[in-house]
Amino acid sequence: MKCPFCGKEDTKVIDTRAMEDNTVIRRRRFCEGCGERFTTYEKPDTIPLTVVKSDNTRENFNREKLIRGVLISCSKRPVSREDVEALVNDIENDIMNSSKKEIESKAIGEMVMKRLKELDEVAYVRFASVYRQFTDVDSFMKELGKLLKDKK
């Protein structure tokens, strides 16, 4: 495995753990070249999932794109990268376990919103504002009203 810090290929596995119901293996690695440590994840290669977008175009499911979107929503919030990874892992597992070959982007967005609502309400509202394409303050206030109503 190539070191992401110095690029050398001389790395050692120092710890291995199974994660997510033994579907992913997490490995801590040590670079003999620069002394840095980093983490890698291994999981089985599956048939690519197709995401059907709102304009009916199709693209392959992109885990990194989903992580980026959630990270932006969680920016400057007390949500760790591990929390975001866990949220995305949970969504990805649900999608892959559904045995569907295609999923609508709308369904993925709803899954993200449901989990973000539980994780961090501010991140939820941020994500909802982009996902639901709030066009004015009234739309924003309606979503906040729903959030407050659900808390009671």
Please identify every stretch of the chain with a pLDDT value under 50, giving residue numbers as ranges: none
If you write DSSP's letter for every residue of the chain in order, what string do you get?
---TTT--S-EEEEEEEEETTTTEEEEEEEETTT--EEEEEE----PPPEEE-TTS-EEE--HHHHHHHHHHHTTTSS--HHHHHHHHHHHHHHHHHTT-SEEEHHHHHHHHHHHHHHH-HHHHHHHHHHHTT--SHHHHHHHHHHHHHHH-
| pTM, entire model | 0.63
> Each residue of 28-58: pLDDT tens digit?
999 999 999 999 988 876 667 899 998 999 9
pLDDT attached to residue 8: 93
Domain chopping of the chain, boundaries:
1-44, 46-151
